[in-house]
Amino acid sequence: MQEQAIAWRQAGDAIGFVPTMGALHAGHDSLVARARRENQRVIVSIFVNPAQFGPNEDFEAYPRPFEVDYARLDALGADAIFHPPVEQIYPPAFKTHVDPGPLAEVLEGKSRPGHFAGVLTVVLKLFNLTQPKRAYFGQKDFQQVILVRQLVRDLGLPIRIVACPTVREPDGLALSSRNAYLDPAQRAAAPAISRALDAAALSFGKGQAHPAEHESTARSALEKIPGSTIEYVAVVDPTTLRTPARAIAGSVLAVAVKLGSTRLIDNVVLGAERL
């Protein structure tokens, strides 16, 4: 993969890279389509990264429909699909890990200790193997975008991180490979998550700037979902991930909710389209 990527770069082609764990949906399609528009070459990786799953998470169960994903990426015009075996990314002698620092200890990181160390370690390795000029990430995983941007800034990587808008079902549910785990009742209830975020965005638009108000309104809506367990509901500043005294345009309301055993995350950028 690296030899091919270097050859493309030497020929003057810009490479757009879309890292994925497979089980592709229209959200991934939008990343690949944007990469296709903005670069001469597009590389998509499919790698279910064991290092970012906790011991009680769904690494084994994570869907791996490789043939279907391959056909989808072929139709979208990807130039290369990089689908390495686990031992190639983490050979037995593998020792080095990226420490993402304090921004990885809140929100997702608090619920999933070690998750972002696993994400940044594999993302850095994938960047080195695919040599991108631009890399594309979905805004649904907003903390991941913030941490990957930090990685690029702190380590001086010559890569532009492009955050792309969350793609949603017609009823508002953010697309996620994990939506497939929802039973019909949970699936019917799940759009309440995006409705809670929309309501907060609307009330911010009407002048509500108190983070606690947004958090408690969203929390009450999420509590009404049968069988839900709220992990966090927080208005945060996208650079510090701390709750500001007042929400301003660009503050992010982020939520994580479990419906039964399925964990869903979503967010809205208040008063702005994107991060």
Q: Is 19 in the site for ligand PAF (CB under 6 A)?
A: yes
- Residues designated as active site: 28
Q: Is 22 in the site for ligand PAF (CB under 6 A)?
A: no
Asked if residue 158 lies in contact with residue 256, where contact means CB atoms within 8 angstroms, the answer is no
Q: In terms of CB distance, is 1 or 119 closer to ligand PAF?
A: 119
Q: In terms of CB distance, is 144 or 186 closer to ligand PAF?
A: 144
Q: Is 52 in the site for ligand PAF (CB under 6 A)?
A: yes
Side by side, which strands form the sheet with 80-82?
80-82, 41-46, 15-20, 134-138, 160-164
Cα separation, 105 vs 252, in Å, equals: 17
Cα separation, 229 vs 258, in Å, equals: 5
Q: Is 176 in the site for ligand PAF (CB under 6 A)?
A: no
Over the window 113 to 142, marking each residue x when it contacts ligand PAF by CB under 6 A and - when it does not, the resulting string is ------x--xx-----------------x-
**Cα dihedral 35, 40, 24, 147 in deg (nearest 10):** -50
Q: Is 16 in the site for ligand PAF (CB under 6 A)?
A: no
Over the window 142 to 161, marking each residue x when it contacts ligand PAF by CB under 6 A and - when it does not, the resulting string is --x-----------------
Cα separation, 255 vs 148, in Å, equals: 20
Q: Is 49 in the site for ligand PAF (CB under 6 A)?
A: yes
Tell me which residue of 30, 51, 41, 22 sits closest to 125, measured CA to CA: 51
Instruction: Provide the binding-site residues for ligand PAF, judged by CB under 6 A.
Output: 19-21, 49, 52, 119, 122-123, 141, 144
